[in-house]
A and B are shown apart, each in its own frame.
Chain A
């Protein structure tokens, strides 16, 4: 049954993004939504990249969009090379996948102070959907 489901969803090993092509309009709107987050302008692209990489690592996936040095630092949680704002964003990234209820008021406040309220909304939304994408990728690629 699982193998049959894989065939319905796409070929083995394909990522969620590729499988989503089976629903072109859903794919278009999903992509447009993600682009609205990353182009919002309140949070630097580097912050999004670092956070996405860390969420990928937490899910046991390969970190994309960062250097090998940065990936190693993120995996070891050695954040000293990152800016204060990046560290605040990464603190939230650390919690979102499996500790979302442990995200403290002062951690969210620190993000608002660093990026503004609009930036805080954009970043938290991004973190949630980085998590969603990782969950879908692991579900689809590991189902078989």
Chain B
């Protein structure tokens, strides 16, 4: 697992992280944001349950988020 950014930031002066790297593809990050907001803010499942499963998923997949 790499510990260095593999793709640089697309935002001048900003470090490479999820948002600034994804900004290399502005339309993709915009549409992802719309999808993610719909997923988190709508539906029958509470945000608490969604967050609990997100954390569990991140832990199982060794994701730092």
Contacts and interface: CB of A to CB of B under 8 A. Distances in A.
Interface of A: 23, 25-26, 29-30, 32-33, 35-37, 39-40, 42, 100-101, 104-105, 108-109, 112, 117-118, 120-122, 125
A32 B21 CA distance: 20
If over half of B's interface residues share one DSSP class (helix, strand or loop), that class is named, otherwise mixed; here it is loop
Contacts of A109: 6
Contacts of B10: 117
Range for the number of chain B residues in contact with chain A: 20 to 34
Interface of B: 1-2, 4, 6-8, 10, 21-22, 24-25, 27-28, 30-32, 34-35, 38-39, 42-43, 61-62
B27 to A, nearest CB: 5
Contacts of A101: 1, 62
A120 B28 CA distance: 12
